[in-house]
Structure 1
Amino acid sequence: MRSREWQAFWLSIGFLTRIPMLVRIDYSQKLMNQCSMYFPLVGLLLGALYAGLFTLLSLAWSPLACVLLVMCFHLFITGAFHEDGLADSVDALGGGYTVEKRLEIMKDSRIGTYGTVALVMALGLKAALLMDTQSIWLALLLVPAISRVTPLLLMAFMPYVTDPDKSKSKPVAEAFSRRRLMVSCAFTALIALVFSFWLPGLWLAALTAIITVALLWGWYLQRQLGGYTGDALGASVVFCELVLLLGV
């Protein structure tokens, strides 16, 4: 049991990042389902890298330059995984007039006008909001962990829609355990409460961001698609990051 959870943890790292998996993985769809519980923990590890890199870079450059360099590192180490989901989702929902057409656009690897504008605005707003926080390094540490709870809520309470044979996220989406969701939420709540001593209002901003994005984005996806897709999960992370940064 302990070995399987260790594998699930490393599988979640391999799924969300470009970091090589250092353990042998006995891959199965069940293990892929289990690994989603560790998304907030992977976010916290990524946040530690971002915060450490920002602190190191700040010895030589201005805060703005450091924030932009850290964001470049983020896009590299995650393969722009969630940002790609944002661009594909906005392209599909903005340019498709039927559910079938929207799903078809999401599968297209090309990026359109809607996706380009959304991506540029999201990255620019993220940089601006980070510059406005009381503690940039602390925001870089915590935001990646907290924002990765939102896709777990969507997976737990909404149906999955898309072509199952062409989707990378299908193994994660199927049979997601609400019990494991509660563990992830408890872990994230503990993080928010502990660090509220250094970043006042963090717990309230975190709760507001997670619930607001899950409800509004989930409602919109239900209307437009009848459920969620892998790209929509990625977009939810970006949306939650921005709302959370607005709050803090």
Structure 2
Amino acid sequence: MKKTSEDGVPGKDSRDTRATGFDRFLSAFSLVSRLPVRRSFFFDPSRLDFHLPLVGLPVSLLAAATMAAAMRATASPTAAAFAVLAVQYLAFNLFHLDGLLDTADAFLGPGDAQKRLAILKDSRIGVFAFFAGFMALAAKLALLLRVAGLGPDSGNLFGLAAVLAYPIAGRAAAALVPALAPPAGETGLGALAKGSKASRVLAGSLAGIIPWAALSMLLPSLFAPVFPAIAAASPFEPLFLLGWACIVPSAIIPAVFFARLYRRGVGGYTGDALGAAVESGELLHLALSLAALGAAGAV
């Protein structure tokens, strides 16, 4: 498996005073996306804690658009779930999946800190990584399949709310890890995220949530011409708001887990910890959202 920018970026420090907020967003985007940035910008990763959750915005838009288009074209939740999974991973999440695989290989088997660090840097994958990757993708596909069945064609906004929210939850989890543990080394994405603050992660997460929350008020009118069943839906229903509320535990739980795991195992986090946190945060958000909906008797 080819190593990615999550564990191979050379360290840089100091905040570039020439960089704008958009430059810092593009800096974060360029580090965690497979999509090229086709414009020049000042590279300044000093605010990854704020901008990493914001990278969830284009991921959310891509996932929601893919799901809506696939459901419109095929009326099949299975096709929609596969489409979202394929598009999201090809554009963004392959980097993060690599971090989860490396984490599984390094921490599920025996070894000391030096052996774990060597495994994290190894481009090959072992049986633990294969198993973890298979289970993660299978679980996400199953959850997306359930979410796709709660889309606008069913007169329900919950599916769209979950799809818009879960990429932000995963990236907020990753942004929190550096606020809870020191970096394991002086290079790589871990070093770039050094000095992160939980307050800026919260601010970045809110900045990512607010545009979609505002857009959600328009969803019934936007989708009604294409999905007539949604015309009477309300974005203020408590069940719809669950999709946003579940971001909080979905970000905190994986961040605390991987920060603690890496601190104890190798002395601090690496870029692979951030990738594992993204994958785990996304999965947890989808699972919690559906569990809350089930507890409310809506599914």
Q: Do the aligned residues in 2 keep the contact of 1:146 with 1:188 (CA within 8 Å)?
A: no
CA distance in 1, matches of 2:93, 2:279: 14
Q: Do the aligned residues in 2 keep the contact of 1:54 with 1:67 (CA within 8 Å)?
A: yes
2:58 counterpart letter in structure 1: L
Q: Any runs of at least 4 consecutive aligned residues in structure 1 with deviations exceeding 4 A, and if so which?
A: 188-196
Give the alignment's TM-score, normalised by structure 2.
0.73
CA distance in 2, matches of 1:193, 1:24: 31
Is 1:6 aligned to 2:22, yes or no? yes
1:158 — aligned with what?
181
Q: Do the aligned residues in 2 keep the contact of 1:96 with 1:105 (CA within 8 Å)?
A: no
C-alpha change, 1:32 and 1:96, in structure 2 (3 Å) is farther
State which of 173, 177, 185 in structure 1 corresponds to 2:193.
173
C-alpha change, 1:67 and 1:2, in structure 2 (3 Å) is farther
Is 1:197 aligned to 2:236, yes or no? yes
Once the two structures are superposed, the pairs formed by residues 1-248 of structure 1 within 5 Å of their partners are: 4-27=20-43, 31-61=44-74, 62-78=76-92, 80-133=94-147, 134-135=150-151, 136-162=159-185, 164-165=186-187, 167=188, 169-188=189-208, 190=210, 197=236, 199-248=240-289
Q: What secondary structure sits across from 1:186 in the alignment?
A: helix
Which consecutive unaligned segments of at least 5 residues does structure 1 have? none
Give the alignment's TM-score, normalised by structure 1.
0.87
Once the two structures are TM-superposed, the CA of residue 236 in structure 1 deviates from its matched residue by 0.7
Q: Do the aligned residues in 1 keep the contact of 2:168 with 2:208 (CA within 8 Å)?
A: yes
Q: Do the aligned residues in 2 keep the contact of 1:192 with 1:202 (CA within 8 Å)?
A: no
After superposition, give the CA deviation of every residue in 1:33-83 in whole Å (9 maximum; x if it has no partner): 224421222111111011112211222321111211221111111260100
Structure with max Cα Rg: 2
- Give the length in aligned residue pairs: 242
1:119 counterpart letter in structure 2: G
CA distance in 2, matches of 1:3, 1:227: 28
CA RMSD of aligned residues (A): 2.4
C-alpha change, 1:150 and 1:177, in structure 2 (3 Å) is same
CA distance in 2, matches of 1:99, 1:44: 36
Q: What secondary structure sits across from 2:278 in the alignment?
A: helix
2:200 counterpart letter in structure 1: R
Q: Please say which of residues 54-63 and 236-245 is displaced more in the overlay.
A: 54-63
- Paired-residue identity, %: 29
